[in-house]
């Protein structure tokens, strides 16, 4: 699983299909991600000390990780992410379409 928090993704299926947004949380065990502005539900809340007004709260619910695809920051297209090892031992996530570095996964190894 090569999708991380704060990555830009596009939704492939469902009501929000085609929406580009940022990942808020990743649950690797359940295989779910929460995306900003996608799969928004209204939770009805009773009046309490924490919520003195009560009413309806809007909140994002998680969706399956298979329903999203990473958007490359350099080319702007939906792509799969790969891994590349640099000569110094550093590990990078790369775009499979334009072969550009997305970010660094692990630092260079010390000798």
Q: Model confidence over 43-71: pLDDT tens digits?
A: 999 999 988 998 999 999 999 999 999 99
What is the pLDDT at residue 34?
96
pLDDT at 1 over 90: no
Its CATH class, for the domain covering 1-71, is mainly beta
Sign of torsion over alpha carbons 68, 69, 70, 71: negative
Report how far residue 25's alpha carbon sits from residue 37's, in angstroms, rounded to the nearest whole number: 13
Which tokens belong to 110?
């010390």
pTM of the model: 0.80
Question: CATH 2.30.30.30 occupies which residues in the chain?
Answer: 1-71
User: What's the whole-number mean pLDDT along residues 80-103?
Assistant: 90
């Amino acid at each position: 699983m090569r999708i991380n928090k704060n990555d830009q993704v596009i939704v492939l299926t469902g009501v929000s299909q085609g929406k580009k947004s940022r990942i808020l949380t990743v649950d690797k065990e359940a295989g779910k991600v929460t995306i900003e502005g996608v799969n928004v539900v209204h939770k009805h809340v009773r009046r309490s000390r924490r919520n003195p007004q009560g009413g309806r709260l809007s909140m994002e619910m998680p969706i399956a990780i298979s329903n999203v695809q990473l958007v490359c920051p350099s080319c702007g297209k939906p792509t799969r992410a790969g891994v590349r090892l640099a000569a110094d031992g550093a590990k990078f996530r790369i775009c499979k379409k334009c072969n550009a570095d997305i970010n660094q996964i692990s630092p260079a190894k010390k000798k």
